[in-house]
Amino acid sequence: MPVGDLLPEITLLSGAVIIVLFAAFTRQQRQVWAVGLALAAVALAVLFSILQWPWPPTLTFSGVWALDGPAIAAKLLVLLSGAVAVLLSPDWMRSDRRHGEYYALCLFALLGAIMMASASDSMELILGVLLSSVASYPLVAYHRGWAPALEAGMKYFLIGALTNTLLAIGVVVLFGLVGDTDYKRTAEVLGTGVSPLALSIATAGIVLGLSFKLAAFPGHAWMPDVAQGAPAPVAALLTVAPKIGAAVALARFVTLLPTSQLWPAIVAFITVVTMTLGNLAALRQTDVRRLLGWSSVSQSGYALMAVVVIDANERALAALLAFLAAYALANLAAFTVVTHLRGRTTLDDYHGLAHSQPLATAVLVVAMLSLVGIPPLVGFFGKFLLFEVAIATGYGWLAVIAAVNTLVSLFYYLRVVAVMMFKPQAGEVHVLGSWSWLAMLSSVGLLLVASLGVEGGLSLAMRLEFVG
Protein backbone atom coordinates (compact mmCIF):
# COMPACT_ATOMS: atom_id res chain seq x y z
CA MET A 1 0.00 0.00 0.00
CA PRO A 2 1.38 3.48 -0.87
CA VAL A 3 2.22 4.91 2.54
CA GLY A 4 3.26 8.16 0.83
CA ASP A 5 -0.41 8.87 0.11
CA LEU A 6 -0.85 9.49 3.85
CA LEU A 7 2.23 11.61 4.48
CA PRO A 8 0.25 14.64 5.80
CA GLU A 9 -1.69 12.43 8.21
CA ILE A 10 1.41 10.49 9.27
CA THR A 11 3.14 13.80 9.94
CA LEU A 12 0.35 14.94 12.25
CA LEU A 13 0.27 11.59 14.06
CA SER A 14 4.05 11.53 14.49
CA GLY A 15 4.05 15.13 15.69
CA ALA A 16 1.40 14.36 18.30
CA VAL A 17 3.35 11.36 19.61
CA ILE A 18 6.59 13.33 19.76
CA ILE A 19 4.85 16.14 21.67
CA VAL A 20 3.41 13.68 24.20
CA LEU A 21 6.87 12.23 24.83
CA PHE A 22 8.41 15.70 24.98
CA ALA A 23 5.83 16.90 27.51
CA ALA A 24 6.31 13.83 29.67
CA PHE A 25 10.02 14.49 30.20
CA THR A 26 10.16 18.30 30.16
CA ARG A 27 9.77 20.77 33.01
CA GLN A 28 6.80 23.13 33.00
CA GLN A 29 8.94 26.16 32.13
CA ARG A 30 9.90 24.52 28.83
CA GLN A 31 6.49 23.15 27.88
CA VAL A 32 5.98 26.16 25.62
CA TRP A 33 8.60 24.68 23.29
CA ALA A 34 5.94 22.17 22.22
CA VAL A 35 4.34 24.95 20.17
CA GLY A 36 7.32 24.80 17.81
CA LEU A 37 6.88 21.06 17.37
CA ALA A 38 3.16 21.48 16.67
CA LEU A 39 3.73 24.25 14.14
CA ALA A 40 6.44 22.21 12.43
CA ALA A 41 4.09 19.22 12.16
CA VAL A 42 1.30 21.38 10.72
CA ALA A 43 3.68 23.10 8.28
CA LEU A 44 5.02 19.77 7.01
CA ALA A 45 1.48 18.43 6.65
CA VAL A 46 0.56 21.53 4.62
CA LEU A 47 3.62 21.05 2.41
CA PHE A 48 2.83 17.39 1.75
CA SER A 49 -0.82 18.27 1.04
CA ILE A 50 0.20 20.91 -1.51
CA LEU A 51 2.49 18.40 -3.20
CA GLN A 52 -0.49 16.03 -3.50
CA TRP A 53 -2.62 18.68 -5.23
CA PRO A 54 -1.53 17.91 -8.83
CA TRP A 55 -2.04 14.17 -8.38
CA PRO A 56 -4.97 12.60 -10.28
CA PRO A 57 -7.96 11.82 -8.03
CA THR A 58 -7.71 8.30 -6.69
CA LEU A 59 -8.88 5.92 -4.00
CA THR A 60 -6.03 4.49 -1.99
CA PHE A 61 -5.56 1.93 0.79
CA SER A 62 -7.97 -0.60 -0.72
CA GLY A 63 -10.44 2.15 -1.59
CA VAL A 64 -11.10 3.44 1.94
CA TRP A 65 -9.17 6.73 1.55
CA ALA A 66 -10.12 9.37 -1.02
CA LEU A 67 -7.24 11.39 -2.39
CA ASP A 68 -9.08 13.98 -4.47
CA GLY A 69 -9.43 17.75 -4.79
CA PRO A 70 -12.21 18.25 -2.19
CA ALA A 71 -10.36 16.13 0.38
CA ILE A 72 -7.09 18.03 -0.13
CA ALA A 73 -8.86 21.41 -0.05
CA ALA A 74 -10.60 20.45 3.20
CA LYS A 75 -7.29 19.19 4.56
CA LEU A 76 -5.61 22.54 3.88
CA LEU A 77 -8.46 24.46 5.53
CA VAL A 78 -8.37 22.20 8.58
CA LEU A 79 -4.59 22.59 8.87
CA LEU A 80 -4.95 26.36 8.55
CA SER A 81 -7.41 26.42 11.44
CA GLY A 82 -5.00 24.28 13.45
CA ALA A 83 -2.10 26.62 12.76
CA VAL A 84 -4.09 29.65 13.93
CA ALA A 85 -5.26 27.84 17.08
CA VAL A 86 -1.69 26.79 17.90
CA LEU A 87 -0.41 30.34 17.38
CA LEU A 88 -3.06 31.63 19.78
CA SER A 89 -2.23 29.11 22.49
CA PRO A 90 1.23 29.90 24.00
CA ASP A 91 0.22 33.17 25.67
CA TRP A 92 -3.17 31.77 26.71
CA MET A 93 -1.89 28.47 28.14
CA ARG A 94 1.50 29.57 29.50
CA SER A 95 0.64 29.09 33.19
CA ASP A 96 -0.97 25.67 32.68
CA ARG A 97 1.17 22.79 33.93
CA ARG A 98 -0.21 20.54 31.18
CA HIS A 99 0.71 22.99 28.47
CA GLY A 100 2.70 20.48 26.40
CA GLU A 101 0.20 17.70 25.76
CA TYR A 102 -2.43 20.30 24.85
CA TYR A 103 -0.78 20.60 21.43
CA ALA A 104 -0.86 16.85 20.93
CA LEU A 105 -4.63 16.89 21.48
CA CYS A 106 -4.93 19.70 18.93
CA LEU A 107 -3.08 17.62 16.33
CA PHE A 108 -5.26 14.57 17.04
CA ALA A 109 -8.38 16.73 16.61
CA LEU A 110 -7.04 17.96 13.26
CA LEU A 111 -6.31 14.40 12.18
CA GLY A 112 -9.87 13.34 13.00
CA ALA A 113 -11.34 16.17 10.92
CA ILE A 114 -9.09 15.26 8.00
CA MET A 115 -10.16 11.61 8.25
CA MET A 116 -13.81 12.65 7.99
CA ALA A 117 -13.18 14.66 4.82
CA SER A 118 -11.12 11.87 3.21
CA ALA A 119 -13.28 8.91 4.23
CA SER A 120 -14.42 6.70 1.38
CA ASP A 121 -15.55 3.96 3.73
CA SER A 122 -18.19 4.22 6.44
CA MET A 123 -15.96 2.60 9.07
CA GLU A 124 -13.25 5.15 8.38
CA LEU A 125 -15.88 7.86 8.72
CA ILE A 126 -16.73 6.56 12.20
CA LEU A 127 -13.04 6.50 13.14
CA GLY A 128 -12.61 10.09 11.99
CA VAL A 129 -15.64 11.31 13.95
CA LEU A 130 -14.56 9.43 17.09
CA LEU A 131 -10.94 10.61 16.91
CA SER A 132 -12.05 14.20 16.45
CA SER A 133 -14.51 13.89 19.33
CA VAL A 134 -12.23 12.08 21.80
CA ALA A 135 -9.45 14.61 21.25
CA SER A 136 -11.84 17.56 21.54
CA TYR A 137 -13.58 16.62 24.80
CA PRO A 138 -10.55 17.26 27.06
CA LEU A 139 -9.63 20.37 25.07
CA VAL A 140 -13.00 21.94 25.84
CA ALA A 141 -12.70 21.24 29.57
CA TYR A 142 -8.98 22.02 29.75
CA HIS A 143 -9.57 24.76 32.33
CA ARG A 144 -10.99 22.24 34.76
CA GLY A 145 -11.11 24.74 37.61
CA TRP A 146 -13.62 26.94 35.73
CA ALA A 147 -17.27 25.87 35.94
CA PRO A 148 -18.34 27.05 32.45
CA ALA A 149 -15.54 24.98 30.89
CA LEU A 150 -16.64 21.86 32.75
CA GLU A 151 -20.27 22.46 31.80
CA ALA A 152 -19.33 22.93 28.14
CA GLY A 153 -17.18 19.80 28.18
CA MET A 154 -19.93 17.72 29.74
CA LYS A 155 -22.58 18.95 27.30
CA TYR A 156 -20.21 18.36 24.39
CA PHE A 157 -19.49 14.84 25.61
CA LEU A 158 -23.13 13.86 26.21
CA ILE A 159 -24.39 15.16 22.88
CA GLY A 160 -21.40 13.53 21.18
CA ALA A 161 -22.12 10.19 22.85
CA LEU A 162 -25.72 10.23 21.61
CA THR A 163 -25.04 11.36 18.06
CA ASN A 164 -22.00 9.11 17.64
CA THR A 165 -24.23 6.20 18.65
CA LEU A 166 -26.77 7.22 15.99
CA LEU A 167 -23.95 7.41 13.45
CA ALA A 168 -22.79 3.90 14.34
CA ILE A 169 -26.36 2.56 14.10
CA GLY A 170 -26.76 4.15 10.67
CA VAL A 171 -23.50 2.62 9.45
CA VAL A 172 -24.47 -0.82 10.81
CA VAL A 173 -27.87 -0.72 9.07
CA LEU A 174 -26.18 0.41 5.85
CA PHE A 175 -23.70 -2.45 6.14
CA GLY A 176 -26.60 -4.87 6.59
CA LEU A 177 -28.15 -3.57 3.36
CA VAL A 178 -24.99 -3.52 1.29
CA GLY A 179 -22.75 -6.16 2.85
CA ASP A 180 -19.78 -3.79 2.65
CA THR A 181 -18.60 -0.50 4.12
CA ASP A 182 -16.79 0.69 0.98
CA TYR A 183 -18.47 3.72 -0.61
CA LYS A 184 -17.95 2.53 -4.18
CA ARG A 185 -19.54 -0.83 -3.46
CA THR A 186 -22.30 0.92 -1.48
CA ALA A 187 -23.21 3.10 -4.46
CA GLU A 188 -23.34 0.06 -6.75
CA VAL A 189 -25.69 -1.90 -4.47
CA LEU A 190 -27.94 1.06 -3.69
CA GLY A 191 -28.34 1.66 -7.41
CA THR A 192 -29.89 -1.79 -7.83
CA GLY A 193 -32.64 -1.13 -5.29
CA VAL A 194 -32.83 -1.87 -1.55
CA SER A 195 -35.43 -1.59 1.18
CA PRO A 196 -36.50 2.10 1.30
CA LEU A 197 -37.30 1.91 5.02
CA ALA A 198 -33.93 0.43 6.00
CA LEU A 199 -32.09 2.89 3.78
CA SER A 200 -34.02 5.78 5.33
CA ILE A 201 -33.03 4.60 8.83
CA ALA A 202 -29.38 4.28 7.79
CA THR A 203 -29.37 7.70 6.12
CA ALA A 204 -31.07 9.35 9.09
CA GLY A 205 -28.55 7.87 11.51
CA ILE A 206 -25.55 9.01 9.48
CA VAL A 207 -26.95 12.50 8.81
CA LEU A 208 -27.85 13.00 12.48
CA GLY A 209 -24.43 11.71 13.52
CA LEU A 210 -22.64 14.17 11.27
CA SER A 211 -24.92 17.00 12.43
CA PHE A 212 -22.99 16.88 15.71
CA LYS A 213 -19.65 17.70 14.09
CA LEU A 214 -21.36 20.24 11.83
CA ALA A 215 -23.04 21.91 14.83
CA ALA A 216 -26.28 21.65 12.86
CA PHE A 217 -29.75 20.87 14.18
CA PRO A 218 -30.40 18.65 16.11
CA GLY A 219 -26.78 18.11 17.23
CA HIS A 220 -26.02 21.80 17.63
CA ALA A 221 -26.60 22.56 21.32
CA TRP A 222 -22.96 22.13 22.33
CA MET A 223 -21.60 24.87 20.07
CA PRO A 224 -22.55 28.06 22.01
CA ASP A 225 -21.39 26.51 25.30
CA VAL A 226 -18.07 25.46 23.80
CA ALA A 227 -17.57 28.84 22.17
CA GLN A 228 -18.14 30.51 25.54
CA GLY A 229 -16.57 28.08 28.01
CA ALA A 230 -13.66 26.41 26.24
CA PRO A 231 -10.22 28.06 26.09
CA ALA A 232 -10.53 30.71 23.38
CA PRO A 233 -7.96 29.04 21.05
CA VAL A 234 -9.89 25.77 21.37
CA ALA A 235 -13.14 27.59 20.57
CA ALA A 236 -11.48 28.97 17.44
CA LEU A 237 -10.44 25.47 16.42
CA LEU A 238 -13.69 23.65 17.16
CA THR A 239 -15.92 26.18 15.45
CA VAL A 240 -14.06 25.56 12.20
CA ALA A 241 -12.12 22.29 11.78
CA PRO A 242 -14.81 19.67 12.60
CA LYS A 243 -17.37 21.62 10.56
CA ILE A 244 -15.17 21.47 7.45
CA GLY A 245 -14.49 17.75 7.79
CA ALA A 246 -18.13 16.89 8.48
CA ALA A 247 -19.51 19.04 5.65
CA VAL A 248 -17.27 17.39 3.05
CA ALA A 249 -17.98 13.96 4.56
CA LEU A 250 -21.75 14.51 4.37
CA ALA A 251 -21.54 15.80 0.80
CA ARG A 252 -19.49 12.76 -0.20
CA PHE A 253 -21.93 10.38 1.50
CA VAL A 254 -25.17 11.73 0.02
CA THR A 255 -23.77 11.40 -3.51
CA LEU A 256 -24.01 7.63 -2.96
CA LEU A 257 -27.76 7.72 -2.33
CA PRO A 258 -30.43 7.13 -4.98
CA THR A 259 -31.95 10.37 -6.24
CA SER A 260 -35.41 8.93 -5.63
CA GLN A 261 -34.89 9.05 -1.88
CA LEU A 262 -36.26 11.86 0.28
CA TRP A 263 -32.88 12.84 1.71
CA PRO A 264 -32.73 16.25 -0.08
CA ALA A 265 -35.99 17.27 1.61
CA ILE A 266 -34.70 16.08 4.99
CA VAL A 267 -31.41 17.97 4.62
CA ALA A 268 -33.31 21.04 3.41
CA PHE A 269 -35.46 20.92 6.56
CA ILE A 270 -32.33 20.66 8.73
CA THR A 271 -30.84 23.56 6.76
CA VAL A 272 -33.79 25.87 7.42
CA VAL A 273 -34.06 25.01 11.10
CA THR A 274 -30.30 25.32 11.66
CA MET A 275 -29.82 28.74 10.09
CA THR A 276 -33.03 30.16 11.58
CA LEU A 277 -32.42 28.82 15.08
CA GLY A 278 -28.81 29.98 15.07
CA ASN A 279 -29.63 33.51 13.97
CA LEU A 280 -32.65 33.98 16.25
CA ALA A 281 -30.68 32.71 19.25
CA ALA A 282 -27.75 35.00 18.42
CA LEU A 283 -30.07 38.03 18.47
CA ARG A 284 -30.48 37.94 22.24
CA GLN A 285 -26.86 37.22 23.19
CA THR A 286 -24.91 39.69 25.30
CA ASP A 287 -21.81 37.49 25.35
CA VAL A 288 -19.62 37.89 22.26
CA ARG A 289 -18.17 34.38 22.39
CA ARG A 290 -21.62 32.84 22.77
CA LEU A 291 -22.86 35.06 19.95
CA LEU A 292 -20.09 33.69 17.72
CA GLY A 293 -21.11 30.18 18.78
CA TRP A 294 -24.69 30.68 17.64
CA SER A 295 -23.35 32.37 14.53
CA SER A 296 -21.39 29.19 13.84
CA VAL A 297 -24.62 27.19 14.10
CA SER A 298 -26.31 29.45 11.55
CA GLN A 299 -23.32 29.20 9.19
CA SER A 300 -23.73 25.42 9.20
CA GLY A 301 -27.23 25.95 7.86
CA TYR A 302 -25.90 27.98 4.94
CA ALA A 303 -23.29 25.31 4.17
CA LEU A 304 -25.97 22.61 4.06
CA MET A 305 -27.68 24.46 1.21
CA ALA A 306 -24.95 23.12 -1.09
CA VAL A 307 -25.39 19.60 0.28
CA VAL A 308 -29.11 19.68 -0.58
CA VAL A 309 -28.33 20.16 -4.29
CA ILE A 310 -25.00 18.33 -4.45
CA ASP A 311 -26.39 15.69 -6.82
CA ALA A 312 -28.41 18.09 -8.97
CA ASN A 313 -25.92 20.88 -9.65
CA GLU A 314 -22.32 20.38 -10.69
CA ARG A 315 -21.36 23.73 -9.13
CA ALA A 316 -22.69 22.78 -5.69
CA LEU A 317 -19.43 21.20 -4.50
CA ALA A 318 -17.47 24.29 -5.52
CA ALA A 319 -20.01 26.47 -3.71
CA LEU A 320 -19.65 24.36 -0.57
CA LEU A 321 -15.85 24.53 -0.57
CA ALA A 322 -15.82 28.27 -1.33
CA PHE A 323 -18.24 28.97 1.49
CA LEU A 324 -16.32 26.80 3.96
CA ALA A 325 -13.09 28.62 3.08
CA ALA A 326 -14.73 32.03 3.49
CA TYR A 327 -16.33 31.04 6.79
CA ALA A 328 -13.12 29.53 8.17
CA LEU A 329 -11.05 32.64 7.44
CA ALA A 330 -13.62 35.05 8.89
CA ASN A 331 -14.41 33.01 11.99
CA LEU A 332 -10.75 32.41 12.78
CA ALA A 333 -10.08 36.14 12.46
CA ALA A 334 -12.94 36.92 14.86
CA PHE A 335 -11.67 34.48 17.47
CA THR A 336 -8.12 35.75 17.21
CA VAL A 337 -9.44 39.13 18.38
CA VAL A 338 -11.40 37.53 21.24
CA THR A 339 -8.28 35.62 22.30
CA HIS A 340 -6.06 38.67 21.94
CA LEU A 341 -8.37 40.51 24.33
CA ARG A 342 -7.79 37.77 26.93
CA GLY A 343 -11.16 36.18 26.19
CA ARG A 344 -13.15 39.33 27.04
CA THR A 345 -16.59 38.00 26.55
CA THR A 346 -19.46 40.29 27.59
CA LEU A 347 -20.67 42.91 25.15
CA ASP A 348 -19.95 45.63 27.73
CA ASP A 349 -16.25 44.71 27.56
CA TYR A 350 -16.21 45.82 23.91
CA HIS A 351 -17.49 49.34 24.59
CA GLY A 352 -15.19 51.90 22.99
CA LEU A 353 -12.69 49.28 21.87
CA ALA A 354 -12.01 51.27 18.70
CA HIS A 355 -10.32 53.96 20.79
CA SER A 356 -8.01 51.70 22.80
CA GLN A 357 -7.43 48.84 20.34
CA PRO A 358 -8.06 50.20 16.82
CA LEU A 359 -6.28 47.35 15.02
CA ALA A 360 -8.13 44.61 16.89
CA THR A 361 -11.38 46.47 16.26
CA ALA A 362 -10.65 46.70 12.54
CA VAL A 363 -9.92 42.97 12.36
CA LEU A 364 -13.16 42.09 14.17
CA VAL A 365 -15.20 44.43 11.96
CA VAL A 366 -13.75 42.92 8.78
CA ALA A 367 -14.36 39.39 10.09
CA MET A 368 -17.99 40.09 11.00
CA LEU A 369 -18.74 41.84 7.73
CA SER A 370 -17.38 38.81 5.89
CA LEU A 371 -19.51 36.49 8.04
CA VAL A 372 -22.58 38.51 7.05
CA GLY A 373 -21.56 38.43 3.39
CA ILE A 374 -20.82 42.07 2.61
CA PRO A 375 -18.96 42.68 -0.69
CA PRO A 376 -16.14 42.80 -1.63
CA LEU A 377 -15.14 40.43 1.19
CA VAL A 378 -14.84 36.73 0.40
CA GLY A 379 -17.86 35.86 2.55
CA PHE A 380 -20.11 37.58 0.01
CA PHE A 381 -18.92 35.36 -2.83
CA GLY A 382 -19.29 32.21 -0.72
CA LYS A 383 -22.91 33.00 0.05
CA PHE A 384 -23.62 34.22 -3.46
CA LEU A 385 -22.55 30.85 -4.89
CA LEU A 386 -24.79 29.05 -2.41
CA PHE A 387 -27.78 31.17 -3.42
CA GLU A 388 -26.97 30.68 -7.09
CA VAL A 389 -26.85 26.88 -7.00
CA ALA A 390 -29.97 26.70 -4.83
CA ILE A 391 -32.02 28.89 -7.21
CA ALA A 392 -30.69 27.12 -10.31
CA THR A 393 -31.76 23.75 -8.91
CA GLY A 394 -35.31 24.73 -8.04
CA TYR A 395 -34.73 25.62 -4.38
CA GLY A 396 -35.45 29.32 -4.73
CA TRP A 397 -37.55 29.20 -1.56
CA LEU A 398 -34.47 27.98 0.34
CA ALA A 399 -32.41 30.88 -1.02
CA VAL A 400 -35.12 33.33 0.09
CA ILE A 401 -35.09 31.93 3.63
CA ALA A 402 -31.29 32.14 3.66
CA ALA A 403 -31.42 35.75 2.46
CA VAL A 404 -33.87 36.67 5.23
CA ASN A 405 -31.62 34.98 7.76
CA THR A 406 -28.66 36.94 6.41
CA LEU A 407 -30.56 40.17 7.07
CA VAL A 408 -31.30 38.99 10.62
CA SER A 409 -27.63 38.20 11.21
CA LEU A 410 -26.68 41.69 10.08
CA PHE A 411 -28.36 43.08 13.20
CA TYR A 412 -26.38 41.16 15.82
CA TYR A 413 -23.04 41.49 14.02
CA LEU A 414 -23.51 45.25 13.64
CA ARG A 415 -24.55 45.52 17.28
CA VAL A 416 -21.05 44.39 18.27
CA VAL A 417 -19.52 46.80 15.74
CA ALA A 418 -21.66 49.66 17.06
CA VAL A 419 -20.61 49.31 20.70
CA MET A 420 -16.95 49.17 19.69
CA MET A 421 -17.22 52.27 17.56
CA PHE A 422 -19.73 54.53 19.32
CA LYS A 423 -19.93 53.60 23.01
CA PRO A 424 -17.62 55.24 25.56
CA GLN A 425 -14.67 53.11 26.63
CA ALA A 426 -15.54 50.78 29.50
CA GLY A 427 -12.10 50.72 31.14
CA GLU A 428 -8.52 49.62 30.70
CA VAL A 429 -8.01 46.88 28.11
CA HIS A 430 -5.42 44.16 28.69
CA VAL A 431 -4.23 42.06 25.77
CA LEU A 432 -2.08 38.99 25.26
CA GLY A 433 1.44 39.04 23.87
CA SER A 434 3.19 38.67 20.54
CA TRP A 435 1.81 35.23 19.65
CA SER A 436 -1.78 36.50 19.55
CA TRP A 437 -0.68 39.54 17.54
CA LEU A 438 0.90 37.22 14.99
CA ALA A 439 -2.21 35.03 14.79
CA MET A 440 -4.53 38.02 14.46
CA LEU A 441 -2.53 39.71 11.72
CA SER A 442 -2.03 36.43 9.84
CA SER A 443 -5.71 35.54 9.90
CA VAL A 444 -6.96 38.94 8.73
CA GLY A 445 -4.19 39.02 6.11
CA LEU A 446 -5.36 35.69 4.71
CA LEU A 447 -8.96 36.94 4.75
CA LEU A 448 -8.06 40.05 2.76
CA VAL A 449 -5.86 38.11 0.32
CA ALA A 450 -8.68 35.63 -0.26
CA SER A 451 -11.06 38.55 -0.89
CA LEU A 452 -8.69 40.07 -3.43
CA GLY A 453 -7.97 36.75 -5.16
CA VAL A 454 -11.48 35.38 -5.01
CA GLU A 455 -11.79 34.94 -8.79
CA GLY A 456 -8.77 32.65 -8.97
CA GLY A 457 -9.94 30.70 -5.94
CA LEU A 458 -13.41 30.17 -7.37
CA SER A 459 -12.06 29.01 -10.74
CA LEU A 460 -9.89 26.52 -8.87
CA ALA A 461 -12.82 25.28 -6.81
CA MET A 462 -14.90 24.74 -9.95
CA ARG A 463 -12.44 22.09 -11.12
CA LEU A 464 -12.68 19.98 -7.96
CA GLU A 465 -14.83 16.87 -7.88
CA PHE A 466 -15.17 13.72 -5.82
CA VAL A 467 -13.29 10.66 -7.03
CA GLY A 468 -15.28 7.65 -8.19
SS (H, E, C) 233-265: HHHHHHCCHHHHHHHHHHHHHHCCCCCCCCHHH
DSSP helix/strand/coil, 4: helix
Q: What average pLDDT does this structure show over 256-271?
A: 87
CA distance 447 to 366: 9
CA distance 443 to 222: 25
- Least confident interval from 34-43, 174-183, 339-348: 339-348
Phi, psi of 58 (to 5 degrees): -155, 160
Instruction: Give 191: exposed, middle or buried? Use CB within 10 Å, 0-12, 13-18, 19+.
Output: exposed
Q: Is the pLDDT of residue 270 over 90?
A: yes
> Mind listing the pLDDT tens digit for each residue in 14-70?
999 999 999 888 887 788 889 999 999 999 999 999 999 998 999 988 889 999 999
Counting residues of the chain whose pLDDT is more than 70, the rounded percentage is 98
Confidence band for 328, pLDDT divided at 50, 70 and 90? very high
Provide the 8-state DSSP code for 133. H
Confidence band for 4, pLDDT divided at 50, 70 and 90? confident
Decide if 128 contacts 245 (C-beta within 8 A).
yes
Residue type, 179: G
Decide if 307 contacts 250 (C-beta within 8 A).
yes
Instruction: Give 127: exposed, middle or buried? Use CB within 10 Å, 0-12, 13-18, 19+.
Output: middle
Residue type, 340: H
- State residue 194's pLDDT score: 80
DSSP helix/strand/coil, 37: helix
Round the average pLDDT of the chain to a whole number and report it. 92
- State residue 1's pLDDT score: 56
**Would you say the C-alpha torsion 173, 65, 244, 102 has a positive or negative sign?**
positive
- State residue 98's pLDDT score: 73
- ω into residue 376 within 30 of 0, thus cis? yes
Alpha-carbon radius of gyration of the chain: 21
Q: Is the pLDDT of residue 260 over 70?
A: no
- State residue 423's pLDDT score: 84
CA distance 363 to 336: 9
CA distance 341 to 333: 13
